[in-house]
Amino acid sequence: MAESLKFLAMNAMTTKDFAAAEKFLNRDLEVNKKLYGESSAPYMEVLRIFGAMYVYAEAFEKAEPYLIKATDLEASLYHYDQGYGGLEYVNLLSLCSLYDRWGKPDRLEACECRLIPIVEKIPGPDTHLLELLLGQRAKALRTLGRAEEAAQAEQRLKALQPSAAVNPN
């Protein structure tokens, strides 16, 4: 039932029927809470989808509490251990993305202070995500009037680009 509710909500989101999506997601949260508890991965996933729905609807202030709760739960479940293959930081990435889209450079900068060290530990030659985050961080720092720190982020970005792999996908 939980999976069906999730997919019904996502289907409603594609048609921009946010009221229906919200109804399905509220019910999905209830079901996941009862089945798995509020500190479970399935519950966390619904929180992230809830946040994503509000981002898609450009109701950023409503998205934030869901994504913060999902991010906190993610940290307690996965401890940002690379063994989870990217699942360990997806909510934190979503939260940072919210702040970027919302135009909140102070919150974005604080979020990226948490995210960048995690992404730096990802094995492999593809640094695309790290490059994106460092660019966003530099922009946020410049907006906040912290030019020296922005220049440091830009220097780190420049140092990465010659060695970055081209992703054929």
Domain-embedded: residue 11: yes
Domain-embedded: residue 34: yes
Residue 54 sits in the same domain as residue 21: yes
Residue 99 sits in the same domain as residue 165: no
C-beta neighbour count of 168 within 10 angstroms: 4
φ, ψ at 145 (rounded to 5°): 80, 20
Domain-embedded: residue 119: no
Domain harbouring 54, CATH code: 1.25.40.10
Residue 18 sits in the same domain as residue 92: yes
Domain count across the chain = 2
Residue 101 sits in the same domain as residue 143: no
Residue 166 sits in the same domain as residue 84: no
Residue 28 sits in the same domain as residue 95: yes
Given 88, 111, 134, the domain boundary residue is 111
115, 96 contact by CB (below 8 A): yes
Does the reported pTM lie above 0.85? Answer: no
pLDDT of residue 79: 84
Express each pLDDT in 67-106 by its tens digit.
999 999 999 998 877 777 667 789 999 999 999 999 999 9
Q: Which domain holds residue 43?
A: 2-111
> How distant, in Å, are the alpha carbons of 28, 47, 54, 131, 168 from that of 38?
12, 10, 20, 34, 39
Question: Closest by alpha carbon to 63, among 88, 90, 37, 91?
Answer: 91
Burial of 114 (0-12, 13-18, 19+ CB in 10 A): middle
Domain-embedded: residue 166: yes
Residue 107 sits in the same domain as residue 148: no
Domain-embedded: residue 138: yes
- The token pair that represents 4 in the structure block: 């069906």
Given 111, 134, 152, the domain boundary residue is 111
Split the chain (169 residues) into runs of 10 and give each run's mean pLDDT.
90 96 96 96 96 97 98 91 76 96 95 91 79 92 94 90 50
